[in-house]
Amino acid sequence: MNLALLLPVALAALAALILPLLIHLARRSEQRPTDFAALRWLRQKAKPRHRIRFDEWPLLLSRLLLLALMALWLAKPVLFGSASDAPWVIAVPGVDPSQLRAAISENNTEQRWLAPGFPPLDQAPPIGTVPIASLLRQLDTELPASAKLTVFVPEQLSGADAQRPVLSRTVKWRVLPGTMPTGESPRIAPPSLSVRYAAGRESAVRYLRAAAAAWLPAPPATAQVDNFSAAPVAQPLAADARHLVWLAPGPLPASVLQWIENGGTALLDAQAKMPATIVTTVRWRDTQGAPLVEGAAWGRGRVLRFTRPLRPSDMPSLLETDFPQRLRTLFDPALPAPSRVVARDYAPLTGGASYPLPPRDLQPWLALLIALVLLVERWLASRTKRAVAP
C-alpha cells in the first residue's frame, strides 16, 4: 500500500503550527514582577539566563496535532493498493438457493448478489431483472486484477445486452438450475388511426383501412375496423385522437398544427405544406432506397409526410405485404430490445481493457480523527484544575 497526496501544496498550512507555540509563549508575559520593600536594598545579582519554556504540554501537543491533521486533510491523502484480492463469488438472482449453497465450496470469499450495490449473499435475493453485462463490467473494473471471480447464473437470463460482455479477467461461469424473475412485457395496443381526406383523395383511404385492420390481433368479422375512422377534412378530430393521416393538399389548418404541438402524430399528404421552420429527415425508404416518408418533431408531437401520392402506380409499396407493419412503425413507440438469453451462451469473453483501481480516500477517516482530537483539546482547555487558559 502506498500513501499519496492529491494536493501536496496544502501542506503549506503546516506553517500555522507556530500559532499555538506563540500563544503558549505569550502566556509567560502575564507574570508581572512586584517590588517588596524588605528586598529593595539587597545586592542585585546577575540575572540567570531564561530558557524557553512551554506550559501545559498536553494542551499544546493536542493543538499542534489538530493543526497538523487539518493541514493533512487539506492535502487530500489517498491510499493506493488497499483493495483486497480475495476471490469473489457472485450469484445472479434466479438461481436455485439449495443448488447455490451446495456449489459454493470456498469459505474465504466475498459472496454477493449481482445487483446494484452488490448486496451480501445472505440477504434476500433482489426482485426483478438486473443489467447483467453492465454490473459485470462495473465489478471487473472495481476488483484488483489478481482477484478471481466466479459467477453462478440460472439457466435462463433476462436483462442481457445485445452482445456478450468482454471483461479483463477470466471468469468461472457456472450454470445452475433456475430462471431469472422477469415482469410481463406490456402489450402495446395497435394504434387507432384517424384519416381526414379532401375531395379526390377517397381512393387512398382503402389502403389505410386495410393496414389498420392488419394491426389487429384477429381480422375483423365485419367491414368496420375498430381502430380506424375516416371523414372529410371539415370534420374535427376526436378528443382522444393521437394518430392522424391528413390527405389534403396545401397548408395545414391552425387547429391541426396546434393538435400536433400538443403531442399528436400526423402523417401528411405528399402535397401538404409543412411549416417552413421544420427540418425533416427520411423515416421510411423503399426497396430501392428512395425516400417514402420524411418527418421531424414539432412541439411535443411529430409531423410526417409522404413523398409520393398514395397510388400503386406512384408508390408500389402500397401493395407489398410489409406495408401495414412499416406504416405502424411510424406511429408506434420504439419496442424494447429482446433481453432474454440462454445462460451458457452468454459467458463473458476475455480481452477487455483493465483499469487501475481508484485509490481509497482517507479524508473521511481524517475528519473523524480531527473531531476526536478537537474534543480532547476542548476538554484540556476547559478543565477546572488548569491555570489561566492561554
**Is the residue at 378 inside a domain?**
yes
Rounded to an integer, the average pLDDT of 320-331 is: 91
289, 263 Cβ separation under 8 angstroms: no
**Is the residue at 49 inside a domain?**
no
pLDDT of residue 389: 46
**Is the residue at 339 inside a domain?**
no
| Containing structural domain, residue 157 | 88-184+346-350
**Is the residue at 245 inside a domain?**
yes
Angstrom distance (rounded) from CA 212 to CA 330: 13
pLDDT of residue 311: 92
pLDDT above 60 (res 233) = yes
pLDDT of residue 327: 92
Rounded to an integer, the average pLDDT of 263-274 is: 92
Choose from 28-42, 181-195, 368-382 the range with maximum mean pLDDT: 368-382
pLDDT of residue 187: 59
**Is the residue at 15 inside a domain?**
yes
Task: Assess whether 201 and 300 both reside in one domain.
Answer: yes
Rounded to an integer, the average pLDDT of 156-182 is: 85
**Count: domains in the chain:** 3
Task: Assess whether 198 and 322 both reside in one domain.
Answer: yes
| pLDDT tens profile 98-147 | 888 888 877 788 889 998 889 998 888 877 778 888 999 999 888 888 88
Categorize the per-residue pLDDT at 357 as very low, low, confident or very high, splitting at 50, 70 and 90: low
- What Cα–Cα distance (Å) separates residue 210 from each residue in 187, 262, 311, 321? 22, 28, 14, 11
| pLDDT tens profile 278-313 | 888 999 998 889 999 999 998 899 999 999 999 999
Q: For a pLDDT cut of 90, what percent of the chain falls above it?
A: 30
**Is the residue at 230 inside a domain?**
yes
Transcribe 213-232 into DSSP letters.
HHHSSS--SSS--TTEEEEE
Task: Assess whether 317 and 200 both reside in one domain.
Answer: yes
Task: Assess whether 63 and 112 both reside in one domain.
Answer: no
> Could you give the angle at which helices 57-74 and 363-382 cross, rounded to 10 degrees?
160
Task: Assess whether 139 and 218 both reside in one domain.
Answer: no
Task: Assess whether 205 and 160 both reside in one domain.
Answer: no
pLDDT of residue 358: 72
Task: Assess whether 259 and 327 both reside in one domain.
Answer: yes
pLDDT above 80 (res 32) = no
> Could you give the angle at which helices 18-26 and 57-74 cross, rounded to 10 degrees?
160
Higher pLDDT, 250 or 5: 250
pLDDT above 90 (res 197) = yes
pLDDT above 90 (res 246) = yes
**Is the residue at 316 inside a domain?**
yes
pLDDT of residue 342: 87
Angstrom distance (rounded) from CA 226 to CA 220: 8
Task: Assess whether 219 and 317 both reside in one domain.
Answer: yes
Task: Assess whether 152 and 217 both reside in one domain.
Answer: no
Angstrom distance (rounded) from CA 56 to CA 173: 65
Task: Assess whether 177 and 161 both reside in one domain.
Answer: yes
Task: Assess whether 280 and 210 both reside in one domain.
Answer: yes
- Chain mean pLDDT for the chain: 83
Beta strands in 25-169, from DSSP E residues, in sequence order: 77-80, 88-91, 110-113, 149-157, 166-167
Task: Assess whether 153 and 59 both reside in one domain.
Answer: no
81, 1 Cβ separation under 8 angstroms: yes
Cell numbers of 230, please?
A: 375516416
Categorize the per-residue pLDDT at 157 as very low, low, confident or very high, splitting at 50, 70 and 90: confident
Least confident of 65-69, 343-347, 381-385: 381-385
pLDDT of residue 109: 85
pLDDT above 90 (res 267) = yes
pLDDT of residue 270: 93
| pLDDT tens profile 47-63 | 555 555 666 778 888 88
pLDDT of residue 257: 92
**Is the residue at 338 inside a domain?**
no
Rounded to an integer, the average pLDDT of 70-81 is: 84
